[in-house]
Amino acid sequence: MSAQVSSDANPKVLVVDDVPRNVRLLEAVLSPNGYTVTSASSGSEALERVAADLPDLVLLDIQMPGMDGYEVCRRLRADPATRFLPVVMITSSDTEVRVNALEADADDFIRKPFDQEELLARVRSLVRIKHYHDTIEAQAAELAEWNQTLEARVDEQTEELRASRTRVVSAADAERRRIERDLHDGAQQHLIGLAVRMRLARDLADSEPEKAMEMLDALGDDVQEALEQLRDLAHGIYPPLLQDRGLPEALTAAAGSAPIRTRIQVDGITRYEPDVEATVYFCCLEALQNAAKHAGEGATATVNAWQEAEELRFDVADDGAGFDPERGRSGVGLTNMRDRVGAIGGSLQIDSAPGRGTTISGSIPLGS
């Protein structure tokens, strides 16, 4: 006895023949071997059954009243939904009939009277091919869907990158305007005042030399104050300690003046590109500022920085009030941190929940 078809669901075979005895004979061969057999007695009924419930294979007699088997096969091939449906025509031994069956685009043919083993072998082979075809089509559809999803993600990330770059440029412009304002309102005004008083002292040098000397002595303190203002402004742009000594000492110094009690763990890191060091430094400072504002009284923070393979990683964790990232506190500070890290190809994550503090983590790829 032939081996039965192995499948999660029995393959469906539609037998199309206007002679009931032939239908019963084919069903008697196929059903015991794991096939579900349905039948149609005419070409039009066959097309209706195929449209209602697509079979895995059609066994099609040629000679039928009305629409013959050739026409049924041609119509199945013309429909995109059934273009690849396996069709086996049941023919006589006449060579011309078999040629016509193949010209009608049948996949195979069985001669009458048919041999049971041959019939089962041909049906089994074509059903297997259809299964492979259906699998490939399903995978192609899945790949197309994934491709659309990936394209949508790329578009989304491209738009986010575009928006991030816009924010970076805007932030840079805002920072430039702040520096200009600080220079204008602070050091510049101070220096202008110094220049005016120096001219006045020079004018008094001949007529009132003692008064001129007193003014010059007082100007020394004013010059020192102006220098301090300029130094503080420069430190805010890029701290000299970061430039000279690197992240460990710069972060340690920043922790000493942080508005929240802070512990630093930065063992094992070395020197990196200036933009990498500046990104980590200013992100940690921003995170400490956020912690001081939102963590609550008595909260503490920990700053960690370490190198892992080809990435520089950092995190700032506090033990304060925490928040729900899905519902709030995605403010300017967090946006600035994301933009800073994203501008050099890194990523930033936030882990927080009400009552269990907040951890801001970042990773930055390092050049080879």
DSSP string of 260-305, one letter each residue = SEEEEE-TT-----HHHHHHHHHHHHHHHHHHHHHS-TT-EEEEEE
Quote the pLDDT of residue 168. 67
Cα distance between residue 60 and residue 42, in whole Å = 10
- The ranges assigned to domains in the chain are 12-114, 164-237, 240-365
Choose among 327, 325, 343: nearest CA to 167. 343
Q: What are 90-109's pLDDT values in tens digits?
A: 876 666 677 777 778 888 88
Taking the C-alpha atoms of residue 220 and residue 93, their distance in angstroms, rounded to an integer, is 120
Taking a C-beta distance cutoff of 8 angstroms, is the pair 263, 212 a contact? no
> Residue 216 corresponds to which tokens in the numbers above?
């010059």
Q: Which of 105-109, 182-186, 189-193, 288-292 shows the lowest per-residue confidence on average (mean pLDDT)?
A: 182-186
Tokens of 190: 């101070």
Q: What is the pLDDT confidence band of residue 6, given thresholds at 50, 70 and 90?
A: very low
Enter the tokens of residue 108. 């195979």
Two tokens, residue 8: 């999660």
pLDDT band at 230 (very low <50, low <70, confident <90, very high): low
pLDDT tens profile 139-188: 988 988 998 988 888 888 878 777 776 676 566 656 666 565 555 545 55
Architecture of domain 12-114: 3-Layer(aba) Sandwich (3.40)
Q: List the single range of 110-119, 230-239, 258-267, 271-280 with lowest mean pLDDT.
A: 230-239
Please report which confidence band the pLDDT of residue 364 belongs to, taking 50, 70 and 90 as the band edges: very high
Q: What share of the chain is helix, strand, coil (3-state, %, to 5)?
A: 60, 15, 25
Picking from 242, 311, 306, 236, the residue whose alpha carbon sits closest to that of residue 274 is 242
7 pLDDT above the threshold of 50: no
Q: Which secondary-structure segment (H or E) carries 174?
A: helix 116-182
Give, as one character, the DSSP assignment of residue 183: I
pLDDT grade for 305, boundaries at 50, 70 and 90: very high
Q: Which residues contact 264 (CB under 8 A, 6 or more apart)?
A: 248, 251, 252, 255, 302, 303
CATH topology of domain 164-237: 1.20.5
| Predicted TM-score (pTM) of this structure | 0.47
Give the mean model confidence (pLDDT) for residues 126-150: 89
Residue 160 to residue 347: CA distance in whole angstroms: 13
Task: Please provide residue 101's backbone torsions phi and psi, each rounded to the nearest 5 degrees.
Answer: -65, -45
Shared fold status for 12-114 and 164-237: no
Q: According to the model, what pLDDT value does residue 15 have?
A: 95
CATH topology of domain 240-365: Heat Shock Protein 90 (3.30.565)
d(CA 23, CA 37): 9
Nearby residues of 325 by Cβ (< 8 Å), 6 or more positions away: 350, 351, 352
pLDDT digits (tens, 9 = 90+) for 31-47: 999 999 999 999 999 99
* CA dist., res. 84 & res. 143, Å (int): 20
Model confidence band, residue 2 (pLDDT cutoffs 50, 70, 90): very low
CA distances from 238 to 37, 151, 226, 244 (A): 81, 39, 19, 11
User: What integer pLDDT is reported at residue 126 of this predicted model?
Assistant: 92
CB-CB neighbours of 283 under 10 Å: 24
Which phi and psi angles does 329 have, rounded to 5°? 60, 40
